[in-house]
Structure 1
Amino acid sequence: MTKSCWRHLDLSLCSLRIWDQVRGQPAHPDNPARFCHLLEETRSLLSGRNFLHENETAQPIKIRSPGETLIVNIRLMVAAVMAKLFESIGKLGLALAIGGGVVNSALFNVDAGHRAVIFDRFRGVQDVVVGEGTHFIIPWVQKPIIFDCRSRPRNVPVITGSKDLQNVNITLRILFRPVTNQLPRIFMSIGEDYDERVLPSITTEVLKAVVARFDAGELITQRELVSRQVSEDLMERASTFGLILDDVSLTHLTFGKEFTEAVEMKQVAQQDAERARFVVEKAEQQKQAAIISAEGDSQAALLIANSLMEAGDGLVELRKLEAAEDIAFQLSRSRNVTYLPSGQGTLLQLPQPKESRHRAARLRPDSGLNAWDERGRTAAP
């Protein structure tokens, strides 16, 4: 230690207790004046020495007073002073640690979306629900129980039977949260793990009761109705335990393997029946179309025959003229030059006037064998 350190150090450490350790004598001498003289001389000697060197601290100091001489070992004296100093610091640190522990145990925090219930060792669970923030409690006597009051999801799988005794696998998704003002009752009657104790049991109970009212096919076709009935019954059942269900939905709905295969086979059979019915209907339509077409052709032929009987060859000649006119029109629109041979074989046997036909008959070599009648038809001789 340097001289400046000794000056800043309280020299009152060389008090009665230090002299008790150094001299091994009572702290209160008979002559106070002599003791004060020794104390002042010790202070002057200590403040004038440099204790950084080993030789200085190892050498003893002689303190003289009227009628008495003391020999003091400086190393032992410094060790005693530092021991007293560290002891005081240790006591202060221990007191601070104990005080900090007490303060820390007397405070607790409630996060956002949470609530706390206070359990008192002497009075039990208190009815007051503690909100968010930092709060004080009595250490060891009181203990806070924190509850999460936000909506939390939970999936509950259930295997039950339908009205027609088919196994149904259903998974129900639930969004739940506790009623805030009923947290003390929930903690006393159910416990902190209320969701594990309540939700699986009431969900299974409600699902089995609702699914048993419907057939397997109705569970698929009327799924919305089933979900609504499950939601209403489950919310009513959960309210008796102090729980609020924000949403209830059917996320998974399947049947047994045998029933699934039977449904698939039924669907295939229905599709085959629909296909066969379509083929039959198509054939029936084709048949009707053929009948209608035949009837139309028959009626057309009958009308043509009647026309021929009434008008003779006039209708045929008219059709020939129309065909010749159409051919001539098409040839006139063509860019190519068309040469038509002369004679009766040009294009069609177009009708000719009666005089022309009689003239042609007279010019023919076999005019004596056949003769033309008045309507232009050949007649037997």
Structure 2
Amino acid sequence: MLSTYKSNTMKKILILGTVSLFLTSCAVIRPGEAGIKQKLGELDDKVITQGTVTFNPFTTKVIKESTQTNNHKLALRLPSKEGLSVDSEISILYRLQVDKIPTVLRNIGPDYKDVMSAVFRSASSDVCAQFYAKDMHSGKRADIEKAIKTKMEETLTPQGIIIEAVLMKSIQLPAGLSLSIEQKLQAEQDAMRMEFILQTQRLEAERKIIEATGARDAQKILAEGLTPEIIKIRSIEAFLELARSNNSKVIITDGKTPYLINGTDL
């Protein structure tokens, strides 16, 4: 009876040991990840992108790397063409090329972010030194970002690191330069405001000239149309209107033309 109990106990121990060994020799590769087996220090060329991987935990391990787009943040002081230093926060959007992950781990190692930072520092120094500090705070910032990205790709893309974007954020210009730029922008806004006022005044003056010209032309046309015959007809019409009135009235003329003696038209 005792030997049977010991036998059952040993079987349970063996089963538990086998299950434990099986569980410790499994790795799950989730979406957005890639796994590479490393056996006795040597990396396998096969990249596993999803699923369960079994391996011998005594001789092999599975290295996981992200294949998603990642954000590597840096805070740097960038040089400018005039010799000033501009503080900036940088975001480098990158991802690993799936089929080259073994190459990245062999040639660069798991600390490839440090290499990427070093490459960025070199590229940004070369590019920013060609621009003025104010350019980093203006519309030329996109050109600077693009130039840095292109220069980084020359070194990192062949190694299997894809640079998707370089974003310069929170640009901090030197205090004196920042004040000068603000003053310049304020002066430009004042000039634009004055130009608007002058343009409005010019349009108003043109409107008045057109209005006066129209009134003058109207008077000229009216004066040219008042011939002696028209005046006589209008005078007769006025007398007829007065004749229809029930009020008493006295009209004095010279007997020849329907005008008042004092020269005032009716």
TM-score (norm: length of structure 2): 0.69
2:13 to 75, 94, 109: 94
- 1:353 corresponds to 2:261: no
CA distance in 1, matches of 2:123, 2:147: 9
Match of 1:22 in 2: none
1:192 to 104, 107, 110: 110
**Quick one: which amino acid aligns to residue 107 of structure 1?**
C
Q: What displacement does 1:243 show?
A: 0.6
Is the CA contact 1:117–1:125 (under 8 Å) kept in the aligned structure 2? no
Runs of 5+ in structure 1 lacking a partner? 1-80, 308-314, 345-349, 362-375, 377-381
CA distance in 2, matches of 1:91, 1:157: 60
What secondary structure is seen at the aligned counterpart in 1 of 2:10?
A: helix
CA distance in 1, matches of 2:97, 2:110: 13
2:57 to 139, 148, 156: 139
- 1:128 corresponds to 2:45: yes
Q: What displacement does 1:120 show?
A: 2.9
Identity of aligned residues (%): 16
Is the CA contact 2:232–2:258 (under 8 Å) kept in the aligned structure 1? no
Match of 2:162 in 1: 244
TM-score (norm: length of structure 1): 0.51
Q: What displacement does 1:148 show?
A: 1.8
Match of 2:131 in 1: 214
Q: What displacement does 1:101 show?
A: 2.7
2:76 to 135, 139, 158: 158
Is the CA contact 1:115–1:129 (under 8 Å) kept in the aligned structure 2? no
Q: What displacement does 1:138 show?
A: 2.7
Cα deviations by residue, 1:199-255 (Å, 9 ceiling, x for unpaired): 322223222322221224444133443332222222223225431123444455453
Distance 1:221 1:147, change over 3 A: closer
Distance 1:157 1:323, change over 3 A: farther
Distance 1:163 1:105, change over 3 A: same
Distance 1:354 1:215, change over 3 A: same
Give the alignment of 1:75-86 within 5 angstroms. Answer: 81=1, 83-86=2-5
Give the alignment of 1:13-52 within 5 angstroms. Answer: none
Alpha-carbon RMSD: 4.5
Match of 2:120 in 1: 203
> What is the aligned residue count?
251
**Quick one: which amino acid aligns to residue 109 of structure 1?**
V
Cα deviations by residue, 1:304-326 (Å, 9 ceiling, x for unpaired): 9xx9xxxxxxx898897698689
**Relative CO higher for 1 or 2, CA cutoff 8 Å, sep ≥ 6?**
2
Larger radius of gyration: 1
Is the CA contact 1:161–1:167 (under 8 Å) kept in the aligned structure 2? yes
CA distance in 1, matches of 2:121, 2:254: 98
**Quick one: which amino acid aligns to residue 42 of structure 2?**
V
What secondary structure is seen at the aligned counterpart in 1 of 2:56?
A: coil
Q: What displacement does 1:277 show?
A: 5.1
Q: What displacement does 1:259 show?
A: 2.7
What secondary structure is seen at the aligned counterpart in 1 of 2:249?
A: coil
Match of 1:108 in 2: 27
CA distance in 2, matches of 1:321, 1:216: 85
The range that moved more, 141-150 or 170-179, is 170-179
Distance 1:327 1:105, change over 3 A: farther
What secondary structure is seen at the aligned counterpart in 1 of 2:45?
A: strand
2:180 to 242, 262, 265: 262
